[in-house]
Structure formats: C-alpha cells, structure tokens
Amino acid sequence: MTDEKKPSGLRNPAGAVRGLGAGTLIMEAIILLLAIQPIRLLGGDLGPVAIGLVITLTVAAIALAGLMGRAWAWHGGSAIQVALLAGGFLHYSLAALGVIFGLVWLYALHVRKTILS
C-alpha cells in the first residue's frame, strides 16, 4: 500500500484556506467591537487602555484578513490571539474572548495544515 494523499476535492485549496483565515479574523473583529458595550455595562470597569487594545486588535484583524495571501499573516493572526489572551490582565472578559478565539484560530490552523499538506 502507498501512502498516497487524497485530494481535498477543492478547486482552489489555497483560496479556500485564505477564505477560512480571513473569515475567522473578520468574525473576531465584529465580535470584539460588539463586545465593548456589554462588557462595560455588565462586567464592570473596562478602562480606556482595554478599550484601546480591543480597537487596536480589531483594526489589526481586519488588516490581516485582507493579507491572508501572505504566509506571515497567519503568524500575525496567532499574535492577535495571544495579545487578546494577554488582555485578560486588563479585564477578565478579554481573557475569555482570547480563549474562545484562540481555540477557533487553532482549528483554522489545523484545517489549513490538513488541506495544504
């Protein structure tokens, strides 16, 4: 028996993976922006530094979504997840979002590896 790799069945596997990464980052950006007000109202003190971090990460996620054709953009997406998790030091809800989106990003990386390898 040979260890032949089955084709993915996709016409453009690289394009599908780029779309997955971009879609994940856009979804994250939207949720980050929409989360600011409920966190402020329900979660207590979300200071200006934490809000600035959320807005910065949102802009970075949108920018990286447009750059998913470059290999380094995947590393940038991973850095966004780490920064969001580290934002937990500013407010616990940012750590929760960091864990959730970190897991989603790990799944996207797994799918990328599976399809492109």
Residue pLDDT, tens place only, 70-80: 989 999 999 99
As given in the structure block, the two tokens for residue 88 are 């937990």
Instruction: Name the region of 53 (left: φ>0; alpha: ψ -120 to 50; beta: rest).
Output: alpha
Angstrom distance (rounded) from CA 79 to CA 64:
11
Q: What is the mean pLDDT of residues 105-113?
A: 95
Q: Mention every residue, 6+ apart, whose C-beta is less than 8 A from residue 91.
A: 39, 43, 44, 45, 46, 47, 50
pLDDT tens track for 34-72: 988 888 787 667 788 888 999 999 999 999 999 999 989
CA 2 to chain CA centroid, Å, is: 37
Q: What is the mean pLDDT of residues 13-25?
A: 93
Every domain of the chain and the residues it spans: 14-116
Angstrom distance (rounded) from CA 13 to CA 16:
5
For 50, other C-beta atoms within 10 Å of its C-beta total 20
Q: How far lies 20's CA from each of 9, 26, 57, 110, in Å? A: 16, 10, 19, 11
Helices (H), the chain: 13-42, 48-66, 72-86, 92-116
